[in-house]
Amino acid sequence: MPSIAFLLDATVKATVILASAWLLALAMRRRSAAVRYFNWTCALAAALAIPALSPILPRWNPGMKAPVIASAARRVLIPDPALASASGVIAARPARARPAIGWPIAIWLAGVAIMLARLATGHLRLAVAMRHAREVRAPEWIAARDAAAERIGLRSAIWLRRSSVTDVPLTGGVFAAFVVLPEASEEWGPERRRIVLLHELTHARRRDPLLWLMAQVAVALYWFHPLAWLAAARFRREQERSCDDAVVRAGAEQSAYAEHLVDLARSVTHAGATTVALAMAATSDLERRVRALLDARSNRGGLSRRAAWTAVAAMAAVIVPLAAFDGQGSTASPSLSGTVYDPSGAVVPGALILLKNDTSHQEAARTNAAGEFKFSSLPAGSYTMQVRSQGFAEFQKAVVLPAGASTRIVLAIGSVTEGVDVVGKTARPQETGTPHRIRVGGNVQATKLVSMTKPVYPPGAEAAGIEGTVLLRAVVSVGGDLLGLAVMNQSVDPELASAAMDAVKQWHYEPTLLNGVPVEVVTTIAVTFRLER
């Protein structure tokens, strides 16, 4: 589930991309429509790529410390272990309650769902309409289609269909393109057939229906962002204008082409199934298209394949670092500090504090002699904080982490439960039939640490005055060894983490027994490195 911080990060980066595209479009206003169309295509594709790449790319920031372990290892979900402790070994039980979705995220998800549902409905309507459309097999249309395809270099076969759901020609199909003609097309002359097919097959050759779907998905993702809507509108405008220029380059006479566009636009009476398809003569931008067609000074050049791939490579060189950039990893990143007290107001030293967010990111710290603790360089967002100390009840609360947050924690005395069995006598019932044995279970003998190698304080960290708590998680095997030992918190110093790993992996346990049979259990180990002052 995305967090508010993730949504804000993606929005800021998308804003940078779309604003840059606007500046480029202004700088390229005298260039061809094909170049401007490519600019908007790259911008919307990049805006979509940002939230897709950010979770999988390693995060970087000039002021951020390198993580101790790979992010994939940090996100392994392990079942809740039973609570146990021995010689510094703590089996931590993660919070059962999942953090609630914030209302901004809920509103955003609702908007995305509505937009995607509307888009899916449009494609479904078009698919249903195409099932009832008639295939065009007239020889004059087939010959005109093949001639237009050869003229523009289209090698794949495109289906021609005729339907009453549209008044103008349109191109649809995300992966397999098709051209839909109105019923009135049966009366068209050779010139209009040629111009219409040149236009629609150009859309098919460039995969424009697929690119239009990409733009609509980007709008659905950023439905709250005005720049996304404006970018999609400019994308659609340049898509049609660049297609018009391609038809002119293919040999269509400009004034005749403009006249056919106007005549086709006059026949429009309803939108039909054209909301997700590319209609040739949409009335929203017809005047600009006609003026551009009749402008003898207009640049109608295309975009070479080499230039397009060069631009894509340049865009990737910018987008990948931008997606990986972590603005929260700097020295001004959020932190959490506080003090732990007992009910009398005295501080509690040595208490274990665990922080866990909705992405299974987990950090640990212990209070010092003054009962104080501090977490630094944490990602902003919602956390569940647990505080544990022997003899006290476990403390748990939700924390929304801004920069410089501080909290005061008061632990309650732990409860004590005693049980007394009162045994009486009753008459022994007479046994009938063959006696049978009942398997009785419920006997658990907890694991016990029998061999411990004490961690050694790394000289470099000791000299630098570095302290911290390393949170390790592993499985105690049936043989008493530790399996899958891994560091759970990423903000701890790498030297401390390495020293803790080197020592703990040599520990040995008596395995947990369930009804006398050894079983595997998950354990969490907190190793605290503290300097005496």
Angle between helices 190-205 and 208-221 (to 10 degrees): 60
pLDDT for position 84: 36
DSSP 414: P
Mean pLDDT of the chain: 80
Q: Is residue 82 predicted with pLDDT exceeding 60?
A: no
CA nearest neighbour of 7 among 38, 51, 48: 51
Section 477-481 average pLDDT: 87
Give dist(CA 58, CA 458) in Å, integer.
Answer: 27
pLDDT > 70: percent of the chain: 80
Domains, the chain, with CATH or none: 4-57+102-324 (no CATH), 71-93+441-529 (3.30.2420.10), 332-410 (2.60.40.10)
Helices (H) and strands (E) in the chain, counts: 13, 22
Would you tell me how many other CB atoms lie within 10 Å of the CB of residue 448?
Answer: 14
Q: In what order do the strands lie in the sheet with 517-519?
A: 444-445, 512-514, 517-519
3-17, 96-110, 467-481: least confidently modelled range: 96-110
pLDDT for position 65: 45
What's the pLDDT tens digit per position in 172-230?
Answer: 888 888 999 998 898 899 999 999 999 999 999 999 999 999 999 999 999 999 999 99
Q: Is residue 320 predicted with pLDDT exceeding 80?
A: yes
Residue type, 134: R
Q: Which residues lie below 8 Å from residue 132, measured CB to CB, with a gap of 6+?
A: 163
Give dist(CA 179, CA 171) in Å, integer.
Answer: 5
∠ CA 319-320-324 to the nearest 5 degrees?
A: 115
Counting other chains too, the contacts that 22-29 makes at CB distance below 8 Å and 24 or more residues apart are 22/227, 22/230, 22/231, 25/234
The pTM for the full model equals 0.59
